[in-house]
Amino acid sequence: MTTMATNIEGKMMVSEEEKRWVVVGIALNKVAPVLRDFIKQGMDTHYTKLDKYCSGLATPCALKTLTYHQVSTDPCFNRMKFENINNNLQLYGMKKRDLHKYNYNINSSVDLAKLFLPDYLTEFSDFNESLDMSAILRLLGFNKPAPIFHSPNPLLSIQSSADVIKNNVRNKWGHFIVTEWSEFFFNYCFFKLKTLVRSLGLTHGVEKMTLDQLSDWKTKGNHLPVCMPGNCIILYQKMLHSCIK
């Protein structure tokens, strides 16, 4: 976390590095709703396709009636983390001998999304603010055994862009080291965020609005005052952490 100096008027002196850190946090928060909407649409489509796939199995079923037999015999479900839904982990644990006791019903696209994440990122209840940036980037970056999301632009990869932002932007934002937040790194963060947005194939209006917002905050970041009331910036830091996580 940052260590900010205080002047004689009780205001906090914010360094250039700290300003850049704050503004990148704002940018992550601004782009998050667009990413959530994109994920919702993609997971709804994926749910429909997978449900249709289940109807064509040797023993036809639906995602809402999926059983241990279908999951254990079809490679399509091999890497899905069924411990993350229906309280399976809490009720039965992870021992192989107990996996047949799981409830394998996938009742919604939200449940489906949880199957692609580590358990500590599955606390969300919908594709809303409860889906934090770490989970968003994990879902966009998922590619084993195959990606969930595909870019319409063959020159851009949603997975690569999401992984870069997760490792080099979001994680560095969450573990602030003042010397890393140079002007070069600040510009790099915005470039990578814009690349991810462009890879999604959003409608022209949504893409333009999002890119314009990012450009606007990148410019504003260079004009924030270096002296702010201490209670304001502390409150803002807490708000950012609660939104981005």
Residue 12 in tokens: 């906090």
Per-residue pLDDT, 143? 93
Q: What single letter denotes the amino acid at residue 177?
A: I
SS3 of 125-147: the string is CCCCCCCCHHHHHHHHHCCCCCC
Residue 99 in tokens: 């996996």
| Block residue for tokens 């870069």 | 164
Name the pTM for this structure.
0.88
**Residue 227: CB atoms within 10 Å:** 13
Residue 57 in tokens: 């199995």
Per-residue model confidence as pLDDT tens for the chain (245 residues): 445 455 445 556 678 898 899 999 999 999 999 999 999 999 999 999 999 999 999 889 999 999 999 999 999 998 899 999 999 999 999 999 999 999 999 999 999 999 999 999 999 999 999 999 999 999 999 998 899 999 999 999 999 999 999 999 999 999 999 999 999 999 999 999 999 999 999 999 999 999 999 999 999 876 766 555 554 555 455 545 544 55
Residue 90 in tokens: 């809490």
Distance CA 33, CA 37 (A): 6
Residue 141 in tokens: 């970056």
Distance CA 236, CA 85 (A): 34
Got the DSSP string for 183-221? HHHHHHHHHHHHHHHHHTT--HHHHHHHHHHHHHHHHHT
Residue 148 in tokens: 């969930």
Contact between 54 and 63 (Cβ < 8 Å): yes
